Structure 1
């Protein structure tokens, strides 16, 4: 249900999406913790959308960005906005690219999945992270389901309880580095930063 909505609303979303880069502090924290062995950090952006402004910021910081989105219209925008980045049209659920990245991001995308699909994503995160790699994602602040809106269409969001996210991260071999529920310095986003054991 989410992906067809974003297919229809991709252009609207790209126009309406804030380009103020309020996420910058968290992106900088991600880069500070992500390993950098081969010169350029490899970043996997799950639910990348149009790539503006987050993937563009990372690309400007010499990251090799791979964007994945289940909506073909979003991947088309991502490719247009970041012509040097790799763009992959695929559903993040069950994704297996057969490679590892220094950082994985699921910002304002992962929380569109059902609770069970979210639980199943932690092995996906882990298998795409290199040892010592960093994970950045957003969730809700509590166990809940909420219906939002994009372009006048309903948009599903779900969240697990913080304690369950911590357990899922631990089970996937990751430690929580920072957790900020409804961060007032990040447009009230609830943000997680974790690192895979190295």
Structure 2
């Protein structure tokens, strides 16, 4: 699994059995399944009924909520939040509004990991013949938003060749 090294880094920041919020969980594969295998208590959130049904089929008994991540308001704190291959499907403005939501769901010391773009802009890609939107902020703006919402950057790699050329951010809530 190409995400394995990054999931190792994320997992090292979490207490044993930690509650993790998988934002834009999709089918639950491979991220949710791997986090469960590592002993974490996962809650998935996805805005697509089809993906949520796949998540529930792939990870039976794992809590999953049908919810647009832009409306995230669970009134619960998590020790880990992950938005792997999901945050960049939001417009830059919507991405900006997610950082206070990350903060509102983070316990002190919580880990946050997400994938994003490497430069500000928008693009339309393709997945299995369907158009797929991608948006990104400038890396300095991601840094600023993380700092403003109480996160310290632990690691950041632009287009990691060992992880499918993803641009990855790993941060930790201060305090």
Q: TM-score range by the shorter chain?
A: over 0.9
- Once the two structures are overlaid, the 10-residue window that deviates more, 150-159 or 186-195, is 150-159
TM superposition shift of 1:185: 1.1
* Unaligned 5+ runs, structure 1: 1-20
Equivalent of residue 74 in structure 1, options 35, 43, 51: 51
Q: Does 1:89 align with 2:66?
A: yes
User: What SS does the corresponding residue of 1:50 show, helix, strand or coil?
Assistant: coil
TM superposition shift of 1:151: 2.2
Trace 1:154-193 onto structure 2 (pairs within 5 A): 154-193=131-170
| Distance (whole Å) between structure 1 residues aligned to residue 22 and residue 105 of structure 2 | 11
| Distance (whole Å) between structure 1 residues aligned to residue 44 and residue 117 of structure 2 | 23
Q: What TM-score comes out, normalization by structure 2 length?
A: 0.98
Match of 1:28 in 2: 8
Equivalent of residue 17 in structure 2, options 40, 55, 59: 40
User: What SS does the corresponding residue of 1:93 show, helix, strand or coil?
Assistant: helix
TM superposition shift of 1:40: 1.2
Q: Does 1:194 align with 2:171?
A: yes
User: What SS does the corresponding residue of 1:43 show, helix, strand or coil?
Assistant: strand
Q: What TM-score comes out, normalization by structure 1 length?
A: 0.87
Match of 1:15 in 2: none
Give the conservation status (yes or no) of the 8 Å contact 1:104–1:134: yes
Give the conservation status (yes or no) of the 8 Å contact 1:94–1:121: no
Give the conservation status (yes or no) of the 8 Å contact 1:101–1:128: yes
- Once the two structures are overlaid, the 10-residue window that deviates more, 50-59 or 150-159, is 150-159
User: What SS does the corresponding residue of 2:71 show, helix, strand or coil?
Assistant: coil
Match of 1:12 in 2: none
| Distance (whole Å) between structure 1 residues aligned to residue 56 and residue 130 of structure 2 | 25
Match of 1:13 in 2: none
| Distance (whole Å) between structure 1 residues aligned to residue 83 and residue 139 of structure 2 | 16
Give the conservation status (yes or no) of the 8 Å contact 1:173–1:197: yes
User: What SS does the corresponding residue of 2:69 show, helix, strand or coil?
Assistant: coil
- Which ranges of 4 or more aligned residues in structure 1 deviate by more than 6 Å? none
| Distance (whole Å) between structure 1 residues aligned to residue 130 and residue 52 of structure 2 | 20
